[in-house]
Amino acid sequence: MPYRRPQSKYLISILAGILMFSLVLMTVNARYDKVNLFFESIVVWFVSPAQNFFTSVTNSITDVFDHYFFLVRTSSENDRLLLELGRLSKKNNELLERNKLLERSANLTEFTGEDERPFVIAKVIGYDATQWSKVIFINRGTDHKVEKNLSVVTDAGVVGHVIHASLKSSKVLLITDSRSAVDSLFQETRKSGITVGTGEDICEMKFVPISAKVSVGDKVVSSGLGGVFPKGLMVGTVVDIVKQDHELFQGIRVATSVDLSSVEEVVVLLSGQEEG
């Protein structure tokens, strides 16, 4: 039978179908953000084993390159690391002293400290399927008590928060995504602001008054407000400040403390309420 082109009425109905369905999806997603859509979980569940496999293969190949082909840089890297080690030893000593002082202060004031939160370690198994949003996939899901809005961190600081959890994997919105916002404060001055993502590899700190003293290199930590990130987690370091007289707030760019482009393992801080 000869091939016939689809009729225009049929094409118009397909176009209308596409527009309608996408509009419904977008509206549901935009208005009822808290709804975990079941088909999203199914697709993630279906693809995550393949993501696991590809990540393992990719890591193995990268490992070979890092350990065998890039040894040329090792000597200079070693010199740099020795210097860094000396600096860190000195820093460590200072911190130990400060720690002892804090311990003594805590005993005096009967300070109980923060609650120990349970956590789960997860491996990064994939990245966003588009380049427009900043999301990673981790290999832990509701089976491991991971749920929506839990904070995801590394030893270096904040990574992001869970936006969708399926059985064995979850989606994590990185702090560099343009929809991300972390209530933060400067570690030294304790001035507060909101660290928001820009969609690039850097964040911006908003709502810092023009009169606040901020300088390049200042550390930014989470304030604990907002209910997602615990207080005191490292968010990043100030790398650029723009002050304009007619503005109420400063323009501050913050480099994330975690290298989000190469993060491999993360810690998901579980909610404090244990079942049973």
Binding site for another protein (CB under 8 A): 3-6, 10-11, 14-15, 18-19, 21-30, 37, 39-40, 43-44, 46-47, 50-51, 53-55, 58, 62, 125-135, 137, 163, 171, 173, 177-179, 196, 198-201, 261-262
- Between 5 and 190, CB nearer to another protein: 5
Which of 25, 266, 27, 64 is closest to 158 using CA atoms?
A: 266
Closest distance between another protein and the C-beta of residue 118, in Å? Answer: 25
Query: In which element (H, E) is residue 32 found?
Result: none
Token pair, residue 20, equals: 């309608």
Q: Are 144 and 267 in contact (CB under 8 A)?
A: no
- Between 2 and 276, CB nearer to another protein: 2
Q: Are 171 and 150 in contact (CB under 8 A)?
A: no
CA Rg value for the chain: 23
> Please, what is the end-to-end C-alpha distance for the chain in angstroms?
67
- Between 37 and 95, CB nearer to another protein: 37
Question: What is residue 254's three-state secondary structure?
Answer: strand
- Between 137 and 186, CB nearer to another protein: 137
- Between 23 and 95, CB nearer to another protein: 23
Instruction: Give the C-alpha separation, 192 to 184, whole Å.
Output: 6
Instruction: Give the C-alpha separation, 160 to 148, whole Å.
Output: 12
Closest distance between another protein and the C-beta of residue 223, in Å? Answer: 21
Which of 59, 55, 36, 57 is closest to 47 using CA atoms?
A: 55
Give exposure, 138-163, as e/b (b: 16+ Cβ within 10 Å). bbbbbebbbbeebbbbbeebbbbbbb
Query: Taking phi first (over 0 means left), then psi (-120 to 50 degrees means alpha), and beta for anything else, what does residue 253 get?
Result: beta
- Between 35 and 121, CB nearer to another protein: 35
- Between 66 and 114, CB nearer to another protein: 66
